Structure 1
Amino acid sequence: MNIKEVLCKFNCEITKFANRKQEFSNRPKKDFSRNRKQSFEAVIRSILSLNGGTLTNELLRINHFSADSPSASAFVQQRAKISERAFPHLFQTLNRTFDRDCRYEGYRLIAVDGSHIHVPNNHEDKDSFVQARADEHFHNEFHLNAFWDIIQGTFIDAVVQKYRSQNEDSALIEMIDRTSLTDVIAVCDRGYEAYNNIAHLQQAGWKYVMRIKEQGAFGIADGLQLPCYDEFDQYMELSLTRKNSLEIKALTEKHKNKYRYIPLQVNFDYLPPSKRQEPAIFFTLKFRILRVRIAENHYEMLLTNLPAYEFPKHKIKEIYSMRWGVETSFRDLKYIIGMLKFHSRKSSFVTQEIYAALIMHNMTVVVSLCVEIPQKERKYEYKIRFSTAACIVKSLLTGGVSPPVAEILIRKNLSPVRPSRKYSRKKTPLKAKIQFAYRIA
């Protein structure tokens, strides 16, 4: 596929989406029923193309500084008519259109992760209003939960939550339940360590590689009888129950690697509350628990249900290490695509721009893959510079640059790949309020 074909497919999907505008309007048969300068399609394209400037300046840029450019007030009135389902639906539609079904050993590799999003200060939105530390300014945050395709480098699903109501476990289960993907390996960080999450992955027929806490840190490994070696790989079948009878207590004490009691206050969707007169009900989890060396005197615990004969320890370690790309993709979303530069305090508008950023991130990846990097004898291997490509793709999708010129510009802007380069993690600075007083021109 070349850039021209990508652009044609993108425009086709946007037009088909605009033809269903009544399904995605807050007041069907009334909103977008009259012919105005800012049609449903024009508003959608404008939101997708927003950068970090003021709303007025952005609208001037998007409309090529035409005398008919809409005012900020008119644009806000039009975008308020779009329902909350619109951008999530467009995000999923474009994902299906441009999915390449890339696989590793026959599996789709999906990294599961979440990230806080610092949004404009809004005292009225109590669900996102937070002061995380005593010395920190009050500010507002949303939480983005996402599935990221490790091989393709694109976000394939997302759940947006407000800070006070965020729940990464429920978001994970929601995305698992609505996906149609098969033959998946979900690669999860330590924050998803929970019996309920593992059970949902198992019931969905998914494989997983999950980092878990070391023994003594109140995690799944606590209470298990594990080898005393620095590295090991042990298979287990752990039967869970909510029954807390004397018989079950004796079983859990005698067979620590086979039985586990789940208290009622611990969320587990596949076990009903235990009744005194009824027999114990069990739910069995089958997994391998591994401890692998990742650096000098540094080890990690991993949990997986991948078979050992196909995926030995070194492959499990390799799969988990591949999830790091989701961290850099969150960084690109925020600091390159511009997911920290919102143009409204209103939570529904913020959600629109979060999904717009996800769409533009994916489209930048899709367009970049159409550009062949010239092979030359160089000190380093080179890749397309994502920050420049994102700028070019936004202009491409708004008609500011043609596909041939876009390809030339993207190919000219490369950056070296330095896989051995590492940086120490810096302490996160105190978060301040996001104001609209000063924006880039």
Structure 2
Amino acid sequence: MFHQKIKQCFSHSVHLVSSVISEFTYSDTDLTRNRKFPADKLITFLVSQGSSSTKNELLDFFDMDPQSPTASALNQQRAKLSPDALEAVFRHFNHFASFYDQKKLRCRFLAADGSTFTFFSKPAFAPEEYHVSEGHSIKGFYSMHLNAFYDLQKHTYSDALIQPIHQKDEFSAFCEMADRHDLLTGTKDVFIGDRGYCSYNNMAHVKEKGQYFLFRTKDIHSKGLVGNFEFPDADSFDIQVNVTLVRSHKKKISIKEGYYKRFVDAAASFDYVAYGSLDTYDLSFRIVRFPISDDSYECIVTNLPSDEFPSEQIKLLYYAR
């Protein structure tokens, strides 16, 4: 059964990390002795625990054994484990899971999204940059922002990046994950994102990777990214536009014929042209607009080829996320 194969992938991933556990602890002797909570069980518990109290979760994990480890024992063992261990399990799991689906795909569709989580902890497990002092709690609470890529075909998360709440930046998280994302031979990645991911910098990072993007953006009547182009005299359309990005107002910067000039100010991130530089950066993409109700429209920007992905398919792809 497929679920058994998935479980095998996870178990094998945990075993690989546990076999070199000294690479993921703060001392070479940590988690090496034979205890009730060895490295493999500790990692498995941290991944599989639910939202009940720690005591109940431990009883459930150890099959109601009255001799199961205490919450104090868990905390002592957890303090020895680096967070890198869980990331390593995640990477190994995705690697092994890829072998169970050998179908050759023309494109791999990856939905980008982020969500903020609030949790209670202590300084030993959560650094200050995760701490939030506001609220009804005297001691405050902790919060993180999880950024992730979700594979719409395999129904697995292909990458994730955690940011402290005070350093939340979905733009930079997207770029970092897109840059490091492993490519599949003969398969193109299509990164799909909501309005919060639509930026020239994100587009450029995907372009430099040689892949595709599909972002929802504000409508053409707004002051957003597509708010100042020449559009057809129609409510729905699918057009190709070319832009030249500049970061200086010097008049001697030349713009090619048929290209729109777009200025990227100092407040916006753009990793391929320094602010004040006379360099330029060219981008080409489609703007696809279609109705979603009697009086409202959705607007998509993408570099997917129109012959393979007509506007109707673009609409289906976006809603697939």
- Quick check: TM above 0.5? yes
Query: 1:222/1:122 Cα in 2 relative to 1: closer, same or farther (>3 Å)?
Result: farther
Tell me the alpha carbon deviations over residues 194-231 of structure 1, each in whole angstroms, 9 at most, x when there is no partner: 11111001111111111011234331112222223211
- Give the 3-state SS of the residue equivalent to 2:210 in structure 1: coil
2:240–2:286 contact (8 Å) kept in structure 1: yes
Structure-2 residue corresponding to 1:120: 120
Q: Distance in 1 between matches of 2:197 and 2:118?
A: 22
Matching of residues 424-435 of structure 1 within 5 Å: none
Q: Shift of residue 32 of structure 1?
A: 1.7
Structure-1 residue corresponding to 2:279: 281
Query: 1:103/1:259 Cα in 2 relative to 1: closer, same or farther (>3 Å)?
Result: farther
Q: Distance in 2 between matches of 1:286 and 1:188?
A: 18
Q: Distance in 2 between matches of 1:311 and 1:44?
A: 43
Comparing 174-183 and 303-312, the one that deviates more? 174-183
Structure (1/2) with the larger helix percentage: 1
- Give the 3-state SS of the residue equivalent to 2:179 in structure 1: helix
Q: Distance in 2 between matches of 1:298 and 1:237?
A: 26
Q: Shift of residue 75 of structure 1?
A: 1.3
Structure-2 residue corresponding to 1:59: 58
Structure-2 residue corresponding to 1:153: 155
Q: Distance in 1 between matches of 2:34 and 2:286?
A: 61
Could you tell me which of 196, 209, 234 is aligned with 2:214?
209
Query: 1:8/1:199 Cα in 2 relative to 1: closer, same or farther (>3 Å)?
Result: closer
Structure-2 residue corresponding to 1:313: 311
Structure-2 residue corresponding to 1:350: none
Could you tell me which of 193, 199, 206 is aligned with 1:188?
193
- Give the 3-state SS of the residue equivalent to 2:26 in structure 1: coil
Structure-2 residue corresponding to 1:265: 267
Normalised by the length of structure 2, the TM-score is 0.88
2:219–2:297 contact (8 Å) kept in structure 1: no
Q: Distance in 1 between matches of 2:82 and 2:180?
A: 20
Q: Distance in 2 between matches of 1:76 and 1:118?
A: 19
Matching of residues 246-395 of structure 1 within 5 Å: 246-248=251-253, 258-274=260-276, 280-323=278-321
Normalised by the length of structure 1, the TM-score is 0.65
Structure-2 residue corresponding to 1:82: 81
For structure 2, the residue ranges without an aligned partner over 5 or more in a row are none
Q: Distance in 1 between matches of 2:214 and 2:292?
A: 15
Tell me the alpha carbon deviations over residues 126-149 of structure 1, each in whole angstroms, 9 at most, x when there is no partner: 5441659xxxxx754311111001
Tell me the alpha carbon deviations over residues 145-170 of structure 1, each in whole angstroms, 9 at most, x when there is no partner: 11001111111111111221100011
1:46 aligns with 2:24: no
Q: Distance in 2 between matches of 1:26 and 1:121?
A: 20
Q: Shift of residue 173 of structure 1?
A: 0.9
Q: Distance in 1 between matches of 2:144 and 2:32?
A: 33
- Give the 3-state SS of the residue equivalent to 1:295 in structure 2: coil
- Give the 3-state SS of the residue equivalent to 2:86 in structure 1: helix
Comparing 168-177 and 293-302, the one that deviates more? 293-302
Structure (1/2) with the larger strand percentage: 2
2:130–2:144 contact (8 Å) kept in structure 1: no
For structure 1, the residue ranges without an aligned partner over 5 or more in a row are 133-137, 324-441
Query: 1:315/1:103 Cα in 2 relative to 1: closer, same or farther (>3 Å)?
Result: farther
Tell me the alpha carbon deviations over residues 163-201 of structure 1, each in whole angstroms, 9 at most, x when there is no partner: 211000111111111111241111110001111111001
Tell me the alpha carbon deviations over residues 282-335 of structure 1, each in whole angstroms, 9 at most, x when there is no partner: 110010111111222221110010111111110111111101xxxxxxxxxxxx
- Give the 3-state SS of the residue equivalent to 1:300 in structure 2: strand
1:130–1:141 contact (8 Å) kept in structure 2: no
Q: Which structure is higher in RCO with an 8 Å CA cutoff and minimum separation 6?
A: 1
Structure 1: which 4+ aligned runs deviate by more than 6 Å?
Answer: 102-105, 121-124
1:237 aligns with 2:271: no
Structure-2 residue corresponding to 1:24: 24
1:224–1:256 contact (8 Å) kept in structure 2: no
Q: Distance in 2 between matches of 1:127 and 1:147?
A: 22
